[in-house]
Amino acid sequence: MSLGMTGPEEVSVDAITLFVLLLSACIIIGHLLEKSQWLTESISALLIGLCCGVVILLSTQGKSSHVLVFNEELFFIYLLPPIIFNAGFQMKKKHFFRNFSTIILFGAVGTLISFFIITLGSLQLFKKLDIGFLEIGDYLALGAILSATDSVCTLQVLNQEETPLLYSLVFGEGVVNDATSVVLFNAIQRFDLSHITSTIALQFIGNFLYLFFTSTVLGIGVGLLSAYIIRKLYFGRHSTDREVALMILMAYLSYMMAELFYLSGILTVFFCGIVMSHYTWHNVTECSRVTTKHTFATLSFVSQIFIFLYVGMDALDMEKWTVVSKSPGTSVGVSLILLALVLIGRAAFIFPLCFISNLTKKSQNDKIGFKQQVTIWWAGLMRGAVSVALAYNQFARSGHTQMLGNAIMITSTITIVLFTTVKAKERKASH
């Protein structure tokens, strides 16, 4: 950027200053457009990011569209935990646990079905397109990447008060789905999948189940430990600040412990949030309850805006688009194929699994109607920051996207994220 930056420290300060300014603008514009049926903070942040990307692109004469280099660790370590924790913390547990079996059915079994359809479909269809060399591990990773729904966006597409059943199903599934996708992705990277045998397949499934179960238990354990410590020591009689600080640190500790032991931080921090809202929150003073509720919500809100702002800005990154521009027809073909596979993959498990779920429900009110099934199918089509982060992790070799196959995979992922986010919001506005 031609903004008088000469040294690394100045670049860092300018970048952070610009991002803080843009975050403030997103919040102000989001407030002004609060009553709009067509725009949410996430979409307005995407649009502001795109506009800012254009300005930076022009000021750098087409060399760059953003001032911060994407780092998936920044996303997974700092931005995602407060979003998922707050989701668990604010979740209406009655509806969530009433539909727990259906949520797990959608989030775990459904994700695996979608994963196989996207993987096998892309493996077969991409053979007819010249997209560069991709290994079997890349196709499997692609299945995991595009099976991850955007649990952040579902918060804004559905209203928890108006449609509690749909909200608990779609959002609960989204969180479990994200966790399943990340666990799948990590398992794919750990195993040598160049020669898949029955032994490797069993190890893969065993590893997946182990990560899923231990991550959940760890989250519950840390949540209960925080409740015990706060109740036993009663920090509130001396300092509300200590209670609030301990709750925040214990929540973050659950996520970092999961990452330390190579578990699913998303599942861990989500269940930690649920347990802490049920036990820990009721053991603190009234002042601490109000403070923690708003603190967690604020951290989650800022993280969401930051993610969408960066995704919008990064959509115009010239390095990958320059590579892709050499084969525009191929890029469009890949994007359309992947979008179709995402649509088919989701339909392939939503409607059959809803049928199975309805067979187990005795009350007619608990059954999922066809219109509700369509809403669940549509709302869960959104792909977001988790998909982008995983795509960079898999396809940005050493931080570069100069290989045709890698560039196409990343640009196609970004295209699907932008398209599904906007279209899902349009469907909500049309109702």
Q: What percentage of the chain exceeds 90 in pLDDT?
A: 22
Mean pLDDT, to the nearest integer, of 249-270?
A: 91
What is the chain's mean pLDDT, rounded? 81
Can you give the pLDDT at residue 3?
A: 36
Taking alpha carbons only, the member of 274, 231, 269 closest to residue 250 is 269
**DSSP secondary structure code for residue 191 in this structure:** S
Structure tokens at 258: 């999961």
The CA dihedral of 53, 67, 72, 329, to the nearest 10 degrees, is: 40
Structure tokens at 160: 């928890």
Can you give the pLDDT at residue 258?
A: 93
CA angle 412/56/29 to nearest 5° reads 85
Structure tokens at 391: 């795509």
Q: What is the pTM of this model?
A: 0.81
Taking alpha carbons only, the member of 139, 79, 186, 86 closest to residue 338 is 139
| pLDDT exceeds cutoff 80 at 27 | yes
Taking alpha carbons only, the member of 140, 149, 130 closest to residue 333 is 130
CB of 92 within 8 A of CB of 164? yes
Fold of the CATH domain 71-430: Na+/H+ antiporter like fold (1.20.1530)
The Cα–Cα gap between 285 and 16 comes to 36
The Cα–Cα gap between 225 and 238 comes to 20
Best-predicted range by mean pLDDT (262-266, 311-315, 323-327): 262-266
The better pLDDT of the pair 75, 251 is held by 251
Summarised one tens digit per residue, pLDDT across range 102-145 is 888 998 899 999 999 999 999 888 877 777 678 888 888 999 99
Summarised one tens digit per residue, pLDDT across range 350-407 is 999 999 988 888 777 778 889 889 988 988 888 877 788 788 888 875 455 667 778 8
Best-predicted range by mean pLDDT (69-78, 107-116, 327-336): 107-116
Mean pLDDT, to the nearest integer, of 222-240?
A: 83
Give the residue ranges of DSSP H helices in 91-235. Answer: 93-98, 100-104, 111-125, 136-145, 151-157, 164-190, 198-233
Residue 190 has phi, psi (to 5 degrees) of -80, -30
The Cα–Cα gap between 210 and 217 comes to 11
